[in-house]
């Protein structure tokens, strides 16, 4: 996604000057810097969203694991098997 | 297993040890957390050793998405939290600490599933913790000569991490990568709240120190790994050093746990305002996540 605007500028080098003219930017190079900054902020925002989602997925996976174990332990067949094993250990 | 059915809140007493449920004995206060990933060859031995050496401990195995028969090797009366996919050592350990926080354990001990950590040493860590002088006790292989050998690359990496931690927070650790640790309830709650994902040991030490927790080391003996493979190969070791080094520097501006002010001892009540609610009768924590669509947790 970052590369796309730059790919476009590679095919249309005059685009920088055109854009600078549209925004009344005296030095066209500044327009390029502005585009780069915008893209950087965009990527930063996306990474932040991914990070938050990652943490939520991790928390959910952990709680799913804990809940599944809690359910397994509550099942009658598990209780019976555990009691047999415990007696054999004793 | 049939369809999913709701069987009560997470804070209910779990029927993990029927012997104790039937006898009416008070619930156990200590938990040994055994994170495993494809440790089918050693996990049964480790769990049985733990149960023999530490009869007053509960043991929980955290299976971090193993693809071998690790889960089947665990004795059936030992709870196994099977994560639906691999979360890494940080995610697996945090599951254990979250379990400990939810069930009101006072002390949680990390014990590797590969058999490197000796159950006989766990008691010393816990006894030291119970003396109340520290919040986290780390078992160190290098505090006293123990004959434990490391490759030169690992030695260099450990030395660099030691130096970095000492420079950043003034704490001298002889074995900051040791995963053999015992944590009290304050640390359990902190870890349940947030825990680093990858290679968490050095980061945790720095962050705990900055947040005002007391950390001490005790000399322990460890076995060399006999089965399975270490998660850190040579190339990953180089990556590990770079990543952990950067993370440690970034941690100087990070406040993952509710502290009010970094460097000040934390206030336990602050946790109740966040993700966890403490039940007045049992002292157990109930997880109370922020409402959907609300602001993300403070540590994000």
CATH code (residue B39)? 3.90.550.10
Number of domains in chain A: 1
Shortest distance between the Cα of B191 and any Cα of chain A, in A, equals 12
Per CB-CB distance under 8 Å, the chain B contacts of A76 are none
Question: Is A61 in CB contact (< 8 Å) with chain B?
Answer: yes
Per the CB < 8 Å rule, is A85 touching B1? no
The DSSP bridge pattern shows strands B285-287 and B30-36 to be: unpaired
Sign of the torsion angle spanned by Cα atoms B26, B9, B96, B131: negative
Assign B238 a pLDDT band (cuts: 50, 70, 90): confident
Q: Which of B75, B83, B287 sits opposite A65 (nearest CB)?
A: B83
Question: Is B298 in CB contact (< 8 Å) with chain A?
Answer: no
Per CB-CB distance under 8 Å, the chain A contacts of B286 are none
Question: Is A74 in CB contact (< 8 Å) with chain B?
Answer: yes
Q: Which of B5, B18, B99 sits opposite A66 (nearest CB)?
A: B99
Number of domains in chain B: 1
The ipTM, to two decimals, is 0.72
Return the pLDDT at B270: 55
Which long-range CB contacts under 8 A does A4-11 form with residues at least 24 apart?
A: A5/A35, A5/A39
- Domain region containing A29: 3-89
Per CB-CB distance under 8 Å, the chain B contacts of A52 are 296, 300
pLDDT greater than 70 at residue B296: no
Name the closest residue on chain A to residue B15, using Cα atoms.
A73
pLDDT greater than 90 at residue B280: no
Q: In what order do the strands lie in the sheet with B215-219?
A: B80-82, B57-63, B30-36, B107-110, B181-183, B136-140, B215-219
Question: Is B76 in CB contact (< 8 Å) with chain A?
Answer: yes
Average pLDDT over residues A6-16: 85
Per the CB < 8 Å rule, is A55 touching B76? no
pLDDT greater than 70 at residue B192: yes
Side-chain half-sphere exposure of B85, counting CA atoms within 13 A: 6
Q: What is the Cα–Cα distance from B195 to B193, expressed in whole angstroms?
A: 7
More confident residue, A39 or B32: B32
Structure tokens at A81: 């098997």
Assign B267 a pLDDT band (cuts: 50, 70, 90): low
For chain A, what is the mean pLDDT?
84
**CB under 8 Å to B253, separation ≥6 — which residues?**
none
% of chain B surpassing 90 pLDDT: 37
Question: Is A51 in CB contact (< 8 Å) with chain B?
Answer: yes
Q: What is the pLDDT of residues B120-166, one digit of tens each?
A: 889 999 999 999 888 999 999 888 776 777 777 778 888 899 999 99
Return the pLDDT at B150: 73
Average pLDDT over residues A17-36: 88
- Domain region containing B221: 29-253
Shortest distance between the Cα of A61 and any Cα of chain B, in A, equals 6
Q: What is the Cα–Cα distance from B78 to B6, expressed in whole angstroms?
A: 21
In a domain, B146, yes or no: yes
Q: What is the Cα–Cα distance from B231 to B80, expressed in whole angstroms?
A: 21
Structure tokens at B19: 């012997």
Average pLDDT over residues A21-36: 88
Return the pLDDT at B281: 67
% of chain A surpassing 70 pLDDT: 83
Per the CB < 8 Å rule, is B18 touching A51? no
Question: Is B18 in CB contact (< 8 Å) with chain A?
Answer: yes
pLDDT greater than 60 at residue A90: no
pLDDT greater than 80 at residue B258: no
Return the pLDDT at A50: 95
Per the CB < 8 Å rule, is A85 touching B77? yes
For chain B, what is the mean pLDDT?
78
Per the CB < 8 Å rule, is B18 touching A83? yes
Instruction: Specify whether the CB–CB gap between B96 and B111 falls below 8 A.
Output: no
Return the pLDDT at B33: 96
Q: What is the pLDDT of residues B89-103, one digit of tens each?
A: 999 999 999 999 888
B17-26, B45-54, B109-118, B282-291, range with the lowest pLDDT: B17-26
Shortest distance between the Cα of A32 and any Cα of chain B, in A, equals 30
Q: What is the pLDDT of residues A39-79, one digit of tens each?
A: 899 999 999 999 999 989 999 999 999 999 988 888 777 66
In a domain, B145, yes or no: yes
Return the pLDDT at B115: 81
Q: What is the Cα–Cα distance from B294 to A76, expressed in whole angstroms?
A: 39
Shortest distance between the Cα of B12 and any Cα of chain A, in A, equals 10
The DSSP bridge pattern shows strands B215-219 and B276-278 to be: unpaired
In a domain, B24, yes or no: no
Average pLDDT over residues B106-119: 89
Shortest distance between the Cα of B42 and any Cα of chain A, in A, equals 19
Total residue length of chain A = 90
pLDDT greater than 50 at residue B11: no
A78-87, B58-67, B233-242, range with the lowest pLDDT: A78-87
Question: Is A79 in CB contact (< 8 Å) with chain B?
Answer: yes
DSSP B252: G
């Amino acid at each position: 996604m970052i590369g796309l605007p730059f790919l476009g500028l590679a095919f249309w080098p005059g685009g920088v000057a055109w854009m600078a003219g549209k925004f009344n930017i005296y030095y066209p190079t500044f327009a390029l810097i502005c585009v780069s900054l915008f893209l950087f902020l965009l990527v930063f925002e996306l990474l932040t969203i991914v990070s938050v989602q990652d943490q939520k997925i991790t928390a959910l996976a952990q709680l799913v694991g804990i809940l599944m174990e809690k359910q397994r332990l509550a099942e009658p067949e598990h209780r019976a098997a555990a009691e047999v094993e415990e007696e054999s250990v004793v | 297993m049939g369809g999913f059915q709701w069987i009560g809140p997470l804070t209910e007493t779990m029927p993990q040890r029927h012997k104790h449920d039937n006898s009416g004995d008070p619930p156990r206060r200590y938990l040994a957390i055994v994170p495993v990933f494809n440790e089918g060859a050693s996990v049964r031995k480790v769990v049985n050793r733990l149960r023999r050496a530490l009869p007053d401990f509960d043991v929980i195995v955290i299976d971090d998405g193993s693809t071998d028969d690790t889960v089947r090797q665990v004795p059936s009366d030992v709870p196994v939290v099977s994560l639906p996919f691999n979360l890494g050592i940080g995610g697996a350990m945090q599951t254990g600490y979250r379990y400990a926080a939810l069930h009101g354990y006072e002390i949680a001990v990390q014990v590797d599933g590969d058999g490197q950590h000796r159950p006989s040493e766990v008691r010393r860590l816990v006894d030291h913790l119970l003396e109340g002088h520290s919040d986290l006790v780390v078992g160190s292989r290098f505090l006293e000569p123990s004959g434990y050998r490391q490759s030169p690359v690992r030695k260099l990496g450990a030395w660099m991490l030691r130096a970095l931690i000492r420079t950043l927070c003034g704490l001298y650790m002889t074995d900051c990568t040791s995963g053999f640790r015992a944590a009290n309830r304050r640390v359990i709650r902190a870890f349940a709240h947030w825990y680093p994902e990858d290679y968490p040991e050095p980061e945790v030490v720095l962050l705990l120190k900055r947040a005002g927790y007391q950390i001490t080391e005790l000399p322990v003996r460890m076995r060399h790994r006999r089965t399975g493979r270490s998660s850190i190969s040579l190339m990953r070791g180089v990556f590990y050093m770079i990543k952990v080094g950067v993370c440690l520097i970034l941690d100087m501006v990070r406040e993952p746990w509710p502290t009010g002010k970094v460097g000040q001892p934390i206030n336990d009540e602050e946790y109740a305002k966040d993700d966890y609610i403490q039940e007045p009768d049992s002292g157990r924590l109930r997880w109370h996540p922020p409402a959907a669509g609300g602001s993300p947790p403070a540590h994000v």
